[in-house]
Amino acid sequence: MMARRPFAPTAEQRQNVEAMTGFGIKQEDICLLIKNPQTGRPICKNSLELHFADEIATGAAKANAKVGSSLFTAATECPDHRARVTAAMFWMRMRAGWKDTTILQHVGKDGGPIKTDNAHHLISAALDKIADRLAGDAPGDGTPTGSGEDT
């Protein structure tokens, strides 16, 4: 019977675990992709946490740093103006707390209340005029009653 040697991660496995952690892949799924060369089988979660502790601890931070660097470059140096503006706006919302805000205010002159008396009077007068026309009582409009013409 051959003595079992302890699992020793390769440099490639370390890079892969760090990258997968940074991408947000669950540890259970990472285990399925990391094979123990002695057995040819996936490692268990305990082995992953034991042998790849540094990669698990730093993977997300390194991925965020790389994407942040790429976004910053896009926001400051991208030759496509629209892409640059979009990246800059995204950066400012996420990092500087900017937000899109719409404020709708209904106020009258000098911030006071809206005066509606005149509007009511105008609407009422217009409705009275229409009613008179329909009744054929509009003074001097020259339209015969029931002609169907709209003036």
Positive or negative torsion for Cα 17, 18, 24, 26: positive
SS3 62: helix
Is 54 within the bounds of a domain? Answer: yes
Q: How many domains, the chain?
A: 1
pLDDT, tens digit, for every residue of 117-139?
677 778 888 899 999 999 886 55
Check if the beta carbon of residue 17 is closer than 8 Å to that of residue 55: yes
pLDDT, tens digit, for every residue of 55-74?
999 999 999 999 999 999 99
pLDDT, tens digit, for every residue of 4-21?
678 899 999 999 999 999
Per the document, the length of the chain is 151
Is 38 within the bounds of a domain? Answer: yes
SS3 40: coil
Domain span at residue 76 reads 11-95
Is 149 within the bounds of a domain? Answer: no
SS3 84: helix
Is 58 within the bounds of a domain? Answer: yes
> Residue 24: pLDDT above 80?
yes
pTM: 0.59
Is 36 within the bounds of a domain? Answer: yes
Is 45 within the bounds of a domain? Answer: yes
pLDDT, tens digit, for every residue of 25-64?
999 999 999 999 888 999 999 999 999 999 999 999 999 9
Structure confidence at residue 109 (pLDDT): 79
